[in-house]
Amino acid sequence: MVQSNGNKEYYIGVDVGGTKILAGVFTKSLECVETTKVRTKAYRGKTAVIDRIKKCIFDVADEADIDLKYVRAIGIGAPGAVDSENGVIIFAPNLGWENVPLKKELEDLISIPTFIGNDCNVNTLGVYEVELHKKPKILLGIYLGTGIGGGLIIDGRLYTGFSRTACEVGHIVLDINGPRCSCGKNGCFEAFASRKAILNSIVEAVKNGSKTVMTEWLGDNLGEMRSRDLRKALKKGDQLVKKIIKNAAVYTGIAVANLINVLNPQVVVLGGGIIEALEDDMMPTILETVNNNAFPGSLKGVDIIATKLGDFAGINGAAVLAKNCINNSCV
Amino acid sequence: MVQSNGNKEYYIGVDVGGTKILAGVFTKSLECVETTKVRTKAYRGKTAVIDRIKKCIFDVADEADIDLKYVRAIGIGAPGAVDSENGVIIFAPNLGWENVPLKKELEDLISIPTFIGNDCNVNTLGVYEVELHKKPKILLGIYLGTGIGGGLIIDGRLYTGFSRTACEVGHIVLDINGPRCSCGKNGCFEAFASRKAILNSIVEAVKNGSKTVMTEWLGDNLGEMRSRDLRKALKKGDQLVKKIIKNAAVYTGIAVANLINVLNPQVVVLGGGIIEALEDDMMPTILETVNNNAFPGSLKGVDIIATKLGDFAGINGAAVLAKNCINNSCV
């Protein structure tokens, strides 16, 4: 797409995930004019992945017909623990990274000011700035994907806590006797309702003799199961998948109710691959469980919605991060 | 105590509980010069209780030898759901109150500007302003008494949420299959670690044949069990009470870890009658459980302490509320 006006101020938002890197070019009014996607290929190692982020940024600028000199800033949403002040990825198990100074490395490669945030925080920024026209006083975002994370915006600013690790909502314990979580604890929200937890539950049930169409498609260990495979199985009337997704929705409802009781947000937005694929199947159970478990006073007037931005929440939010930070109101 | 200087500016802080009303006179530098206590006698009804609050305020001013005309404002910490903006007690089961415009009723009786807050919020204000000399960026207060509640201060201001009901930390579900809570749900934090939950656990165990010194002192249904009776039983080496208090401490640790993972506070302060009486017995287990269940990144540099203000946190915080609100920086 060619530049549609003489307004030469752009931002690039990048969502770095464990499987793909998505980048978008945004105008200064945060309209997305072009997107590009490449695979992450994390197995090639850190330097290769950083080169692929650079490639994705150059590609999206090229596709949008803009010169990088008109890009004021780049924003990056990255998984795991992120020190956004210094632009360092502290720990990102999906990428196999520890203490990677991503801001510095990209600025050395591209010479454009770059700002880094946790992907769930950045997603929430995207929903707040781009999707919600009436800005809520307090917005809580919860994202169910491979893992589960969250973001919180209070009075227009990201709440990141004392050491910038707030909103690890996937690791609130919902049942001390529950299944083992990847973090080493038992019964975390993530151990009930992430894609990984759902996959484990299906594999376990199959081992114990249950039947599902999923194994016909993907083999007994479900290999590369995606969220959309779950939706396909539900459409086929698969009873095992139905039961496991229902259970995940109940625990999601409990977690949302807990968070409403503590944070009393105005809007709760749910997103991530699991919600994007299974919104129609999960939301009624989630809402019913929240209604049964949140304090009526805390729930009054609260909207609980699924984001419509899907995969694009991340690049939108990353563009917001870039614009805010370069204008000295860094979140 | 007579006025020690010519500085005629005072605040009165009042803590209204289900069993007693405590009031304190404070100088403008928030030094407490006198306190007075009366029983609440909630069974006499709303009007009688409001008269007793008035009596307690008059008594404490009299004891302190100050004329009420030098009291700039009164602050009240009250249990339950409080609309602090309008000074209305929305719902306080311990008092049997619903929609009581306490601010207006007291101002009509006493003609001094009066401000009302939730007791756990007010306690946290007291700890922040009076106990902690180095002010934390984010302070989370958790109070274990008859019930369990909390308060959160971010950058010096109380966080009360969208509809001013935030920090209902007693009603985060820790085990969906856990014991019934007074709120109607199962497995809330309050159903594991409040005085009421501990009492229920002991009574239940006795019914099932367990022995405890508590029943010798208080009868089989433990009648008016107080937190200090639990401490006495532990000192006697009572094994049943030891086991039940240990269990309460483990669940408290899980709840604190959950809240640290979500809020990433700088300081967590524990208080309330249970902690005041059982600090030495419970804190080691609480700290160990938090260490095992909070994210290392979120826990780094976080102090978890028990307040030393005891019963006085409430009146200190209520005086802070009064001073802040009359100076137009109402929390």
Q: Is the Cβ–Cβ distance between A313 and A271 less than 8 Å?
A: yes
Q: Where are the beta strands (DSSP E) in chain A?
A: 10-16, 20-27, 32-39, 71-78, 81-83, 88-92, 97-100, 114-118, 138-144, 148-154, 157-158, 267-271, 303-306
Q: What is the pLDDT of residue A223?
A: 80
- Bridge partners for B32 per DSSP: B26
Q: Quick check: B81 and A137 CB within 8 A?
A: no
DSSP string covering B155-191, please?
TTEE---SSS----GGG-BSBTTSPBPTTS-BSBTHH
**CA distance to A36, A37, A121, A124, B282, per residue, from A316 (Å):** 13, 14, 12, 10, 47
Closest Cα to residue B276, out of B226, B212, B315?
Answer: B226
Q: Quick check: B262 and A166 CB within 8 A?
A: yes
Q: Is the Cβ–Cβ distance between A14 and A22 less than 8 Å?
A: yes
Q: What is the DSSP letter of B101?
A: -
The answer to whether A293 contacts chain B (CB < 8 Å) is: yes
**CA distance to A57, A63, A66, A97, B307, per residue, from A3 (Å):** 17, 11, 7, 37, 61
| % of chain B beyond a pLDDT of 90 | 82
> Three-state SS for B205?
helix
The bridge status of strand B20-27 relative to strand B10-16 is antiparallel
pLDDT beyond 50 at B120: yes
B140-159 residues touching A, CB cutoff 8 A: 150, 154, 159
Residue B116 identity (one-letter amino acid): I
Burial (0-12, 13-18, 19+ Cβ within 10 Å), B206: middle
Q: Which residues of B touch A166 (CB under 8 A)?
A: 262-264, 298
Helix, strand, coil percent values for chain A (each to nearest 5): 45, 25, 30
Q: Which residues of A touch B254 (CB under 8 A)?
A: 173, 176
Q: What is the pLDDT of residue A7?
A: 65
**CA distance to B78, B93, B163, B209, per residue, from B90 (Å):** 11, 10, 12, 42
Q: Quick check: B297 and A257 CB within 8 A?
A: no
The answer to whether A175 contacts chain B (CB < 8 Å) is: yes
pLDDT beyond 50 at B1: no
Residue B89 distance to chain A (closest CA, Å)? 12
CB B219: neighbour CB atoms within 10 A? 11
Q: Quick check: B265 and A165 CB within 8 A?
A: no
**CA distance to A233, B91, B178, per residue, from A302 (Å):** 32, 19, 27
A85-114 residues touching B, CB cutoff 8 A: 90-91
| A262, closest residue in chain B (CA to CA) | B167
Q: How far apart are CA B307 and CA B313, in angstroms?
A: 8
Q: How far apart are CA B138 and CA A161, in angstroms?
A: 7
Q: How far apart are CA A287 and CA A228, in angstroms?
A: 22
Q: Which residue's entry shows tokens 């929440």? A: A313
| A90, closest residue in chain B (CA to CA) | B297
Residues of chain A with pLDDT under 50: 1-5
What is the tens place of the pLDDT at every residue in B126-184?
999 999 999 999 999 999 998 899 999 999 999 999 988 899 999 999 998 899 998 88
Task: Pick from A83, A140, A173, A288 the residue to mutate for testing the B interface (most B CBs within 10 Å).
Answer: A173
Q: What is the mean pLDDT of residues B247-255?
A: 98
Residue A138 is nearest to which of B90, B162, B172, comparing CB atoms?
B162
Q: What is the pLDDT of residue A19?
A: 84
| B174, closest residue in chain A (CA to CA) | A174
The answer to whether B135 contacts chain A (CB < 8 Å) is: no
Q: Which residues of A touch B266 (CB under 8 A)?
A: 162
Task: Pick from A135, A148, A163, A181 the residue to mutate for testing the B interface (most B CBs within 10 Å).
Answer: A163
**CA distance to A241, B196, B198, per residue, from B204 (Å):** 39, 12, 10
Any alpha helices (H) in B8-45, and if so which ranges?
none
- The gap from C-alpha A152 to its chain's centroid, in whole angstroms, comes to 13
B231-270 residues touching A, CB cutoff 8 A: 250-251, 254, 257-259, 261-266
The answer to whether A182 contacts chain B (CB < 8 Å) is: no
Q: Quick check: B301 and A162 CB within 8 A?
A: yes
Q: What residues contact A170, with CB distance under 8 A and at least 6 apart?
A: A147, A148, A149, A150, A188, A189, A190, A194
Q: What is the mean pLDDT of residues B101-107?
A: 97
DSSP string covering B38-80, please?
EE--GGG-HHHHHHHHHHHHHHHHHHTT--GGGEEEEEEEESS
Q: Is the dihedral of CA A16, A20, A25, A26 positive or negative?
A: negative
Q: Quick check: B264 and A173 CB within 8 A?
A: no
Q: How far apart are CA A143 and CA B275, in angstroms?
A: 36
Q: What is the pLDDT of residue A2?
A: 43
Closest Cα to residue A242, out of A251, A252, A231, A227?
Answer: A231
Residue A208 distance to chain B (closest CA, Å)? 24
Q: Quick check: B297 and A90 CB within 8 A?
A: yes
Q: Quick check: B264 and A162 CB within 8 A?
A: yes
Q: Where are the beta strands (DSSP E) in A105-191?
A: 114-118, 138-144, 148-154, 157-158
Q: Quick check: B173 and A293 CB within 8 A?
A: yes
Q: Which residues of B touch A300 (CB under 8 A)?
A: 163
> Three-state SS for A123?
helix
Q: What residues contact B138, with CB distance under 8 A and at least 6 apart?
A: A161, A162, B152, B153, B154, B155, B263, B264, B265, B266, B267
Closest Cα to residue A39, out of A26, A25, A55?
Answer: A55
Q: What residues contact A301, with CB distance under 8 A and at least 6 apart?
A: A266, B162, B163
Q: Quick check: B169 and A262 CB within 8 A?
A: yes
What was the ipTM of the complex prediction?
0.91
Q: Which residues of B touch A263 (CB under 8 A)?
A: 161, 166, 262
